[in-house]
Amino acid sequence: MADKKRLQGIALILFGILLCLAEEAINRELFHSIGYFPFALIGAITGIAGLVMVFYEKKDDAGK
């Protein structure tokens, strides 16, 4: 179970990196008439959530 949680965290980190790197292209292609949307900020928050999922261990799981 812990391995699945870690893999999901790594996937979130990679998705956050993808959002940060593709921010300009996404805003240019999808939101050119609406304006600017902070995909880099959303990516950073997603990456931080992924880091928490990767490195956080519950007290009961630490001994197993």
Enumerate residues 6+ apart whose C-beta is below 8 A from 44: 16, 20
pLDDT range class, residue 1, cuts 50, 70, 90: low
Structural domain includes residue 10: yes
61 lies in a domain? no
| Helix ranges, the chain (H) | 2-21, 23-29, 39-55, 59-62
Q: Does the residue 32 lie in any domain?
A: yes
How many CB atoms within 10 Å of residue 22? 14
Which domain covers residue 13, as residue numbers?
Answer: 2-56
CB atoms within 10 A of CB 12: 20
The tens digit of pLDDT for each residue in 5-40 reads: 889 999 999 999 998 898 888 888 887 777 778 888
The count of structural domains within the chain is 1
Residue 33 resides in a domain = yes
- CB atoms < 10 A from the CB of 60, how many? 7
> For residues 35 and 51, which has the higher predicted lDDT (pLDDT)?
51
